[in-house]
Structure formats: structure tokens, C-alpha cells
Amino acid sequence: MPAPKLTGLLLLLPLVLAVSCSKPAPTPETTAAPAKHQHHPPHGGTPVVLGDEVYHVELVRVAAEGKLQAYLLDGEMENFIRSAAPSFQVDAIVDGQPQVLRFDAIANPATGETVGDTSLFEARAGWLKSTKTFDGILKSITVRSTTFTDVEFNFPLGNDKD
């Protein structure tokens, strides 16, 4: 008596598995577009890509002080990257006029960063107090033995195409 019941259950098993494992064919409503690769600047600033997303510079304007901070970050904008560079330059066009921003390395005793081993740079200019947008070219910066030159960007849009 147990053998016929067992045989019946074994015959039903493939049917149950076939029904439970089948999935409906995808439709436009159920097929999502691939997620867009995005980076989120940790300070809410402007992302400037260096190379093929090897590193980023995040630019943060402090209008009241006429200051622009530049944080060096990894390709995903998650970790600070220290640089030996003492400074770097950005050539800016503000209201049709050329301006030069010199970003100097900033020491931070709280993180142990020093000039020559830091991820933070700052530039100051009076026009930064009132100017909210400009086009710029980061002339040259060396990060971990790789030099990036003539990196174009817009502030505050950046140059990240992702």
C-alpha cells in the first residue's frame, strides 16, 4: 500500500517543480534599466574626475570666506587620498576674465595630515565670495606617482559624465 502512494507522489513531483520554478517572461514594466553609476561627494561639493575615474577632486566653496577647498578622493569618492603635492593651480574664467586659483596643501593635526602628506588643499580669492559658477582647468596635480594635467571642469557641475 505505501508503494502506490509513493509512486504517485514521485510522478507528481516533476509537475510541481515545473510549475513552481517557472517565471513569467519579462515585460517592459518588469525590466528595469541598469542602474546609473554615481558618485556622491562626501561634502556635497563638485566632483572633478582625474583620469578614468582613478581619483576625484571634490571642490567645496565656502562663500563667506572667499575660499574653495579641494579634497582628494579615490575613484568612488569614499576614501581620502593623501598627496605629496605642496600645491596645484586652477585657471578659471570668471565673467569672461581669466583668474588663477592656487590651492595650497593644508595640514590637519586631527588626522595626522601634514603639508606634503595631505588630502586637503585650499585656495582663496575675493571673487569666490560672490561667484557661484565658473569654468576651470586644473593645470597639473600628481597623486600617488600619477600626474594629471589640463583637467577641464565647470563649477559647480564638475566633469563627471556618469
Please, which pLDDT band fits residue 111 given cuts at 50, 70 and 90?
Answer: confident
- Identify the band that residue 11 occupies on the pLDDT scale cut at 50, 70 and 90: low
Which of residues 28 and 69 earns the better pLDDT score?
69
Q: Residue 29 — pLDDT band, cuts 50, 70, 90? A: low
User: 48-97 pLDDT, tens per residue?
Assistant: 999 988 999 999 999 999 999 999 999 999 999 999 999 999 999 999 99
User: What is this structure's pTM?
Assistant: 0.75
CA angle (133, 93, 71) in 5-degree steps: 60
Percentage of the chain modeled with pLDDT above 70: 75
Flag whether 11 is in a domain. no
Distance CA 96, CA 106 (A): 30
- Please give the full DSSP string across 101-145, using - where no structure is assigned: EEEEE--BTTTTBBTTBBSEEEEE-GGGGT---EEEEEEEEEETT
Query: In which domain, by residue range, is 124 found?
Result: 46-155
Kindly state whether residue 40 falls inside one of the protein's structural domains: no
Question: How confident is residue 42, by pLDDT bands cut at 50, 70 and 90?
Answer: confident
- CATH at 89: 2.60.40
Q: Residue 12 — pLDDT band, cuts 50, 70, 90?
A: low
Tally DSSP H helices, then E strands, for the chain: 1, 8
- The DSSP symbol for 147 reads E
How many structural domains are present in the chain?
1
Region 35-60: mean pLDDT is 84
Q: What per-residue confidence (pLDDT) applies to 34?
A: 45
Say if 67 falls within a structural domain. Answer: yes
Residue 16 lies in a domain: no
Nearest-angstrom CA–CA distance, 159 and 151 = 9
Whether residue 126 is contained in a domain is answered as: yes
Tell me, yes or no, whether 162 lies in a domain: no
